[in-house]
Amino acid sequence: MGKFLDRLEEKKIADRSLIVLTADHGMELQDKNRNGDWKGALNSTGIPHLDPDGFGFVYLVEE
């Protein structure tokens, strides 16, 4: 992660980058009616983004 952040600094884009880390805690019993989808919350912010594959890889874009 440090090397990645250093690279953003080298390219002079760190100040306009947003990095979101998530974690998968493995399989456990859960409420099957809850899908953990953040699309509604992200869409409501008005932040331009792409979700090209629908698998949770979200790319924020600059307008």
Task: Give the domain range for residue 37.
Answer: 20-63
Give the pLDDT confidence of 2-45 residue by residue, as tens digits. Answer: 898 999 999 999 998 888 887 776 666 677 777 666 778 888 88
The answer to whether position 11 is within a domain reads no
Question: Is residue 28 domain-resident?
Answer: yes
Asked whether residue 4 is assigned to any structural domain, the reply reads: no
Does 10 fall in a domain?
no
pTM of the entire structure? 0.41
pLDDT of residue 27: 63
pLDDT of residue 10: 94
Instruction: Report the domain count for the chain.
Output: 1
The helix (H) or strand (E) run that includes residue 2 is: helix 2-10
Gap between the Cα atoms of 40 and 51, Å rounded? 12
37 found inside a domain: yes
- Say what the pLDDT of residue 6 is: 92
Q: Is residue 51 within 8 Å of 9, Cβ to Cβ?
A: no
CA-CA distance, 58 to 10, in Å (whole number)? 23
Task: Note whether residue 1 is domain-resident.
Answer: no
Q: Look at residue 52 and tell me if it is in a domain.
A: yes
Asked if 42 contacts 58 with a C-beta cutoff of 8 angstroms, the reply is yes
